[in-house]
Chain A
Amino acid sequence: MQMPIPDASVIEHKDQIVARLLAVLPRDAVIADVVETRAYECDGLTAYRCPPMCAVLPSNTDEVASVLKICHELGVPVVPRGSGTSLAGGALPTADCVILGVAKMNGVIETNYDDRYIRVQTGRTNLSVTGAVEANGFFYAPDPSSQLACAIAGNIAMNSGGAHCLKYGVTTNNLLGVTMVMMDGTVVDIGGAYMDAGGLDLLGVICGSEGQLGVVTEATLRILPKPEGARPVLIGYDSSEVAGQVVTDIIKAGVLPVAIEFMDRPCIEATENFAHAGYPMCEALLIVEVEGSDAEIDAQLALIMKIAAKHNPVELREAKDADEAGRIWLGRKSAFGAMGQINDYMCLDGTIPVSELPYVLRRISEMSKEFGLDVGNVFHAGDGNMHPLILFDANKEGDLELCEEFGAEILKLCVEVGGCLTGEHGVGIEKRDLMHVQFSATDLEAQMAVKDVFDPKWLLNAAKVFPLDASEPRRVA
C-alpha cells in the first residue's frame, strides 16, 4: 500500500504551524510531541501506521474553523478523526498532516421528543446517543458493532450501518442535518430538524464522503420510539445454499425482520471455542430477529419457523425469554473476538445480491484453499453485506501481503456478481486501489468533481478513497 510522498515544505515548517495553532487553541488541545502524536498513528486498520505531524483536539465549531483556516492558508493537509475505529484506514494520518480529532466535542445540544430528533456534537459516541434518549423510550437506530467506541463523526463520514439496518436503514437514512466546516474555514449548516428540503441533496453526498468534503462538527439525528420488544430465533442448516434460500424465502414472505445474521462453519467453530454459546456444529447458522409486542413477535416467528422447517434445519431454536435471546446473540456478538483469538484477521465487507450468496461462499472457500489462508464468514444476510474474516499471521513474512491479495480477489468477486467493494466500512486506503474494479475513469472523475467543489486544494484526507494515480493531478496541482 502506497501513500503520497509527504510534503517536505510543510514538515520543515512544523514549528511555525504549531505556533499558529497554539494561538487559536488551548495549550492542551495541540499535540506536537513526537511521542504523543503516536497515539494517532493508526485507526482500526492497524496494519498501517504513520504518526501525524501534529494533532489538534478543538472543543467547538469555532475552534475547528480557526484550525482549518490556518491549515488552508498554509497548505497543510488535514485528516479528520472521530474515535479511530475505522477498519478501512480512513483516519490513517500522513506524515505531513494535522489530525483534527473531534473527541472532545461530545455534548448533547438539544433533544426534542415531539419532533423526534437529537442534536449532538459529532465526537459523541454512537451508543451514548441512544443513552441520552432511552429513558424517554427512544433510540438512535444505526448500531455498528463498534457502537461503544465509534463516534457519530465517523459514522457520518463512513455512512455506517449495523445489524438492524435491514429495517431501519444506515446512517444516511437517519441523518437530518449537519454543521460542517469547510477546508477554508467557512461554516455551513445543511438540513436541520425537518425533512427533504428542496435544493441539491448536499447532506446525502456529505454522508459517506470519508472526511474529504469538510469537518462535521454537529449533527441532527432522527430518533425513533423503542419497539415494545424483540426476540431472535436460531436456525442451523447443513448447507449454505439452503440457508441462503431460507433468507430469500423469509424476505419474499413479507416478514421484515430487523436482522438476519449468517455464520458459516469456521466461524461457528471459532465462536463456540471462545464464547460457548451452545451453537450447533453445522455448515450455516442464521439468527433472525423480529420486533413488536409479544403477540406480534409470536406470530412473525411462527411464520419464520414454518419457512425454516420446510428446509430441514438441523437446529431450530426460539428464544423464550431475554436470557435465551442473549445466548443466541452471544456467539454472533463475539465472532470477531473469537476469530481474533485464533490469529490476526482482516475483515472485508463487500456486498452481493443475496441470490448470489451460495455461489460466492463456495468461491471463497475454494480461494481459501488456493491461498492457504482460513476464512470465516459472518454477515448481515438480509442485505447481502458479507464480512469474510481472513486469518493471517502478522509476524510471518509475506502473510499480510498474501492476505491482502486474497481479500482483493474476494472483493473483485463481489463486484463481478453485481455487488460492491464495501457495504459499510468505507474505502479509505484499504480498497482505494480497487476502485477501478467497480468504477470507470469517468465514474471516478464525477466523484472527484464533487471534492473539487468542496475542497479545491485537495487538502482534506486527500490520499484516501480514490486511486492515487487518479487523484494525483488534483493533489499535486
Chain B
Amino acid sequence: MTPTSELELSDMIKAVNGPLRIVGGGTRPIGHVMGEVLSTAALSGITLHEPGALTLVARAGTPVVDIEATLATQNQRLAFEPMDHRALMGTSGQPTIGGVVAANISGPRRISVGACRDFLLGVRFVDGAGNIVKNGGRVMKNVTGYDLVKLMAGAYGTLGVLTEVSFKVLPAVEAETTLTLSGLDDTTAIQAMSAGLGSPFEVTGVAHDPAQSLTHFRLEGFAASVAYRADALSKLLAPFGIMQDTAGDWSAIRDVTAFAGKTGDVWRISVKPSEAAALAAKIGADAVQYDWGGGLIWALCPVGTDVRTAMIGTAGHATLIRGTGQTFHPEPAPLADISTGLRARFDPRGILNTGIMG
C-alpha cells in the first residue's frame, strides 16, 4: 500500500483487517514487525520552509537528504543531527523524515541542543482507526492542549502513521573544531567529558572510542569564538593531557560505523555518564563506543548476550538495535499498563507495527 494523500491513507486504514508494517525508507529495521507493507513514499515533499522563523514542515515520506539540501541553501540545518542507520544495519534506501521522528533519532549534538523530539513542533498522523489527527503546529512555543507531538516521537508508528511533521531548525555554523585527548581509560575519559560538558564553553559533541583510546570534543560557532573556546577548553582539561586538533569524523561517531559489517548484536544503552564505564565493563561486549559524554553506550555483543540482566541496579535503558530478541527494555508494571492503554486507544484493532513495542 502506497497512499498518496492523508485521506487515502485514512481510507486504507479503515478498510484493512490485518496488521500493517509501516515503512519510510526502510533503512532502520529496528524490532520485528509482520504485516502488509504500508509505505509513506508517496507522502513526500517539503510544504513550508520559513528561514526567518526557523521552521520547516515536510510530509513524512520526504527523504532526509532533500530536507538537508533545502535547509543548506539558507545556511540552516537539523540541529539534532539525525543518525543514518544504513551502514550499521546493512540496509539501503533513503532515510525519511517520518522514520527519523517515529524512532526519535538524534546524533552526538543531542547532548547540547536536544533530541529530535525537542525540535519537533507539530505532527499530523492517521491513527489505527483511520482518524486524521493534528497536534502542535509550526510555532516554537505552544502549550495548547496535550503534547501528543512528544508522544508520537519515538512511538515507532504504534500510535499512528505520521503524515506530516514540522521542525524548529537552526542556523548552520561558521566554524567547527574537534579537540582530542588520547590514552585515557574509560573512567578517566568520562571524567574529562563531564568536565568539558560542565564548562561554559558549549561543547556540542563529546565521544570516547576505547578501541583507539581517543576522546573527542567538538566546538562550533563563529570562527573567533570557536578559537577562543578551544583555547579555554584545552587549558581546563590540561590535567587530562594535551588536546590535539583533529579532523573529527562526527558522522562516523553518529552512525556507529565502527560496528558496521561486524557480527554480533548491537545495543544502544542510555545511562548516567558516571555509571557508564562500570556498566560497559560488565555487559560482556566485544566493543563499545561512548557518545553524549558517556550517557550513551553503543555496544557490540556476541549474539544473544543478555545485557539487561547486567544492568540490574544501574538506572537506565537498553534497546536492541540490531539482533533478535526483545527490542525495548521491559517497563515496570504500571508504566507498561499506561503504554498498553495508550496503544489500545490510538490503535484499537492492534494493526500498526504490532509487536514492536510489546
Contact = CB atoms under 8 A, between A and B. Distances in A.
A303 to B, nearest CB: 8
B315 A353 contact: no
Interface string B222-244: 10110011001000000000000
Given A173-B114, A423-B139, A450-B345, A198 B154 contact: yes
Contact of B144 (A193, A422, A440, A445): A422
Interface residues of B, number: 85
B146 A209 contact: yes
Nearest to A188: B334
A426 B158 CA distance: 28
A196 B338 contact: no
A194 B346 contact: no
Interface string A273-295: 00000000000000000001101
A423 B135 CA distance: 14
Nearest to A385: B141
Contacts of B334: 182, 186-188
A292 B146 contact: no
Given A188-B334, A196-B106, A419-B137, A355 B327 contact: no
Interface residues of A, number: 95
B225 A427 contact: no
Interface stretch (A6-14, A72-80, A221-229): A221-229
A195 B110 contact: yes
Contact of A252 (B51, B134, B296): B51
Interface in B84-143: 104, 106, 110-111, 114-115, 117-118, 127, 131-135, 137-143
A205 B150 contact: yes
Contacts of B339: 199-200, 202
A204 interface: yes
A435 B148 contact: no
B317 A353 contact: no
B181 to A, nearest CB: 17
Q: Name the residue in B137, B144, B338 with the highest tally of chain A Cβ atoms < 10 Å from its Cβ.
A: B144
Interface in A344-374: 351-355
Interface string B197-239: 1111000000000000000000000101100110010000000
A199 B328 contact: yes
A351 B137 CA distance: 10
Given A228-B200, A384-B141, A194 B148 contact: no
A97 interface: no
B153 A254 contact: no
A165 interface: yes
Nearest first, the 6 A-B pairs at minimum CB distance are A204-B150, A248-B52, A423-B141, A254-B171, A197-B317, A453-B341
Interface of B: 50-55, 74-75, 104, 106, 110-111, 114-115, 117-118, 127, 131-135, 137-151, 153-155, 158-159, 170-174, 191, 194, 197-200, 222, 224-225, 228-229, 232, 270-274, 292, 295-296, 315-317, 319, 327-329, 331-332, 334-335, 338-339, 341-342, 345-346, 357
